[in-house]
Chains A and B, each alone.
Chain A
Amino acid sequence: MSSVTTHPAEHPAEYHPGGMLRWLTTTNHKDIGTMYMTFSLIMFFVGGLMILAVRAELFQPGLQLMKPEFFNQLIGVHALVMIFAALMPAATGFANWMIPLMIGAPDMALPRLNNWGFWLLPPAAILLTLPFTLALFGVGDGAIATGWTFYAPLSVQGGMGVDFAILAVHILGISSIMGSINIIVTIFNMRAPGMTMMKLPLFAWGWLITAFLLIATLPVLAGAVTMLLTDRHFGTHFFDAGGGGDPILFQHLFWFFGHPEVYILLLPVWGLIPHVLSTFSRKPTYGYKAQVYSFIAIGLLSVVVWAHHFFTAGLPVPALIYFMFSTMAISLPLAVLFFCWIATMWKGAMTFETPMLFAVGFIVLFGIAGLTGLILADVAADAQYHHSYFVVAHFHYALFAGGIMGVMTGVYYWLPKWTGHMYNETLGKLHFWLTVVSFNLTFIPQFFLGLAGMPRRIPDYALQFAEFNAISTVGAFILGVSQLLFAWNVWMCVRGGQKATARVWEGSEGLEWELPSPPPHHSWEVQPQVR
């Protein structure tokens, strides 16, 4: 049997240019994973700076720093950047780096598609943020000011920033669909002999469901924003009530994508958390099959619950009841996941290195997202909380504590494998505690603001909301600054440090830990056999 390692002229994979050309032309899954992670980190800080400006404005009542129009633009672009340019690329970076290593594949199945998928991202990010710069030179009226939801008819009437965002979302969608295709075909076709679907690492399972959700829902978002574009410029009236259209149709189309998007952001994290818990509890994952079936159940349920995002829009009562109960049904498979995570730790020989701290922090804080989500899923209660700061706090517990802290769990867990060096553990733990404390300082007050009736997306507010807003802003700035520790720790780990072993962690199990740290340029030249 011949090896794949052949003469460079016969094998294009042996072509290794240096410098920028390496990154532009690379088809290596590890290089592309690194680019996704780097891009994600940069955009995380860009999106973070935007929201710090917002929090600074909200520090006290009255307008201090910016006009309301600019405030609205910052909020919308913050969300779009964090969702599409920070969280999703981070998860795709994990997939690129880890799935081939975990399943024993030499690379992703479609390496050129992989390269193309990444390089669509920077132009899309530029399109999202360019209107801010153009406005400084008197061109246009700034970025999209509708919030990330593009709700019609506001988005039909909005300025040039809406067009930029529509184009950016199309490009981001194409990139994500390319990435999803690659991940699905890699998992189906590139697994090592003996790795049956029921031996697939949970991280790969989480991503497989995510990829199918992206394929099913992103075309719907693309269709909705295309229709929006034709409403704006080509005389159609899909969402314009004055021309016989229906603005509520836009909400249905948007949230048919938007709710599964929440699980698209979270399923890769739910996949990686069991690996971390198992490693640092020194026990096998509890309930592997139960977790796989829960992923599938959550994936299926996520596409049939979208209208709970607009209970107050005037839906018929049977629809309200259906969407309430179907939304609440998601808590059942999610509770199975929580049970399995806790049971994995139960009576384990636990140690609390930084990834484990983040994983446990994730479970506690994401639990709060789940519980407050149940409150919002109740039609009667939602009438009170809708469009209030309660919602803002809830989805930040889901997407910061669930999404971003999950990503940080994965970065600390796999960074020694990627770089071949150990990160600074003391700095990692300091980063964890600062993040957890400041995150709660930022968002617990927002629950109370919402309960007291403060609406979201407003630059000014009544005097009775002043104290909680001041506390929230102080928390946000500590949270923002403490992320510099993370960036510094990652940077120092990339540059050097104590050498990491192949296995890195005492309790780590799986194919990815069989390779040296960092793995060689071609991940698996020799095919592993899984028993």
Chain B
Amino acid sequence: MDQQPFSSADLERRRVASRRLGWLIGAVALLFYVVGLFIKR
């Protein structure tokens, strides 16, 4: 197993991507909740 230190830049890039995806998933969950309340049977 080759090993090298994590670079700050790489970690920051991964965290930014995670935050973006996190907000997107959170928004989808909120959308399910809000839209669901207005669906008529």
Contact = CB atoms under 8 A, between A and B. Distances in A.
Interface in B2-41: 2-8, 11, 14-15, 17-19, 21-22, 25-26, 28-30, 32-33, 36-37, 41
- Which among B7, B30, B33 has the greatest number of chain A C-beta atoms within 10 A? B33
A220 B33 CA distance: 6
B21 A219 contact: no
B29 A4 contact: no
Given A189-B14, A531-B1, A526 B37 contact: no
B6 A524 contact: yes
A181 B26 contact: yes
A336 interface: no
A184 B2 contact: no
Contact of A529 (B2, B15, B29, B37): B2
A141 interface: no
Contacts of B4: 1, 526-527, 529
Contacts of B6: 3-4, 106, 524-527
A227 interface: yes
A110 B32 CA distance: 23
B14 A223 contact: no
A219 B36 contact: yes
B7 A1 contact: yes
Given A177-B29, A215-B29, A514 B1 contact: yes
Nearest to A211: B25
A527 B29 contact: no
B5 A190 contact: no
Nearest to B13: A189
Given A181-B22, A249-B41, A526-B6, A109 B15 contact: yes
Contacts of A514: 1
Interface residues of A, number: 40
A422 interface: no
B11 to A, nearest CB: 6
Interface in A110-141: 110, 113
A109 B25 contact: no
Nearest to A524: B6
A352 interface: no
A57 B36 CA distance: 41
Contact of B1 (A106, A177, A528): A528
A4 B5 contact: yes
Contacts of B2: 529
Interface string A216-250: 10111011001100000000000000000010010
Given A215-B25, A216-B32, A528 B7 contact: no
A322 interface: no
A81 B32 CA distance: 25
B34 to A, nearest CB: 8
Contacts of A177: 26, 29
A63 interface: no
Nearest to A178: B26
A227 B7 contact: no
B10 to A, nearest CB: 8
Contact of A188 (B11, B19, B21, B28): B21
A528 B5 CA distance: 9
Interface string A490-527: 00000000000000000000000010000000001111
B7 A2 contact: yes
- Which among A113, A180, A188, A527 has the greatest number of chain B C-beta atoms within 10 A? A527
A188 B15 CA distance: 11
A227 B32 contact: no
A182 B22 contact: yes
* Complex A-B, nearest 3 residue pairs according to Cβ-Cβ distance, in ascending order: A109-B18, A219-B32, A219-B33
Given A106-B11, A529-B1, 4 more contacts: A110-B22, A189-B21, A219-B33, A529-B2
Interface of A: 1-6, 106, 109-110, 113, 177, 180-182, 184-186, 188-190, 215-216, 218-220, 222-223, 226-227, 246, 249, 514, 524-531
Interface of B: 1-8, 11, 14-15, 17-19, 21-22, 25-26, 28-30, 32-33, 36-37, 41
10 contacts: A4-B5, A4-B8, A110-B19, A181-B22, A189-B15, A514-B1, A526-B5, A528-B1, A529-B1, A531-B1
